[in-house]
Chains A and B, each alone.
Chain A
């Protein structure tokens, strides 16, 4: 993406001239204080929020300029895990996973069943298949969200704060799961979090979103030694809430 600016209702821009390039198969983690615009940034990259200016290219295609049908085709090559999971509350866990396969693939019913069962096993939830989202815990919902986002085997996946609201042990397990599945499917990952430990755990490269700009800090070691005082302040937990 280049020169990305996002503002709402003609107000002061939330993001200003943000530039980023993520390579194929890379895991890029965006960290930053609450309210800095991380979710808006990832939703803009994923095509859900239209930027005021600038462009986002995914595989050479400018996502916000595509026709609806071309956008739908591109969306099928991407996956997204939402901060609050966004599971379909009128569907069971099984139906949540089967939905994208039924709507966006040519798989037969038995193939859908097999693939859903494989993913339920992979995220450790075969026993929850017939439960509704409000009948399972937050950590389990997150795992269903991860499985649903990966079930179409996307090339790119976006994680909007995948450990938000989870305890440290569950957070670590979720990140382990994400890393394992991403390695298995060789997906390109863009993730956001405000938990530095989880960011270090999964990132190939990182960036700090603060003061409406994205500071690309590099790998974990480079980030830890980065010269920008805002990066160091955030790592040490000294940054003020935006």
Chain B
């Protein structure tokens, strides 16, 4: 029972989240979503998280540059620092760490906002006025988060390259051109696509979890607190699992593509 009860609760949460995603997709197909509301969400999220994402991207790149510098220096292979650290950042660590930052900021904010609207009966009031809260509240936030999170993650990845370049110049005595010139050797088109695909998947996960958790909040202030906690936990665990899955999927797709083209 010690294991079964939490396992059932987790499965219940995953199932509920997937059904909620289905409901959002149905709403997007059936109802017209106010473009201005989506743009407002994109603007608010992007502006609020711009600095956080840019700075975290910068430091992820810088961190990778420092770590690879220490390893590569032992083998006298500093010339490939730019390619290796950028490849690792763009394909793996960058999207994941930046998504963690975003989940703390965008995820917590959105789930708390919807949660408070739920516990103060504002969502019920909206229904009673003949307005669909999924159309009016959830769908614009869902789309706004996906679009802005994708943009922010992409921005974070660009900033990570900048961070890598600057730290490589400072700690490894490499010139920016020496760093950048080796990037195309290790970061191929599929690496960039894989990174961008991850960014998209992470954005969808983040948007789904925070809107679902917020929309289904129960209880008063304590309920909202629990929702924010559950959102953070579910998003972070979900991001790690999704990172593994997308890496695996990208590997399979790449192998298949190579087998077809060679």
A interface residue numbers (CB < 8 A to B): 43, 46, 48, 68, 72-73, 75-76, 78-80, 82, 84, 86-89, 99-100, 103-104, 148-149, 152
Using C-beta atoms within 8 Å of the partner chain, give the interface range for chain B. 10 to 19
CA distance A75 to B127 in the complex (A): 7
Complex CA distance for A78 and B124, rounded to whole angstroms = 13
* Apart from A73-B130, A84-B120, A86-B121: 15 A-B pairs, beta carbons within 8 A: A48-B127, A75-B129, A75-B130, A76-B130, A79-B129, A82-B121, A82-B124, A86-B124, A99-B131, A100-B129, A100-B130, A103-B129, A103-B131, A104-B131, A152-B130
CB contacts (< 8 Å) of B253 on chain A: these are: none
Assembled-state Cα–Cα distance A72/B132 (Å): 7
Interface flag for B8 (CB, 8 Å): no
A148 contacts B124, C-beta separation under 8 Å: no
- Residues B113-168 near A (CB distance < 8 A): 120-122, 124-132, 136
C-alpha gap A43/B123 in the complex (Å): 13
B13 to chain A, nearest CB (A): 16
Alpha-carbon gap, A76 to B130, bound state (A): 5
The A/B interface has a contact count, at CB < 8 Å, of 56
Q: Is B121 touching A79 in the complex (CB atoms < 8 A)?
A: no
CB of A45 to closest CB in B, whole Å: 12
Chain B residues with CB under 8 Å of A84's CB are 120-121
Closest to B136 in A: A103
- The complex places the Cα of A158 from the Cα of B122 at a distance, in Å, of 16
Closest to A105 in B: B130
- Which B residues touch A48, using CB under 8 A? 124, 127-128
Q: Which of B120, B121, B122, B129 contacts A104 (CB 8 A)?
A: B129
> 18 pairs across A/B with beta carbons < 8 Å?
A43-B124, A72-B130, A72-B131, A75-B129, A75-B130, A80-B124, A80-B125, A82-B121, A88-B122, A88-B126, A89-B120, A89-B122, A100-B130, A103-B130, A103-B131, A103-B136, A104-B130, A152-B130
- Give the CA-CA distance A126 to B130 in the complex, in Å: 25
Query: What B residues does A86 contact at CB under 8 A?
Result: 120-122, 124-125
Chain B residues within 8 Å of A76, by CB: 129-130
- How far is the CB of B36 from the nearest CB of chain A, in Å? 12
* Chain B residues with CB below 8 A from A148, complex form: 125, 129
A-chain residues with CB within 8 Å of residue B130 when the two chains form the complex: 72-73, 75-76, 100, 103-104, 152
Report B170 CB to chain A, min CB distance, Å.
46
Nearest residue, chain A, Cβ from B121: A86
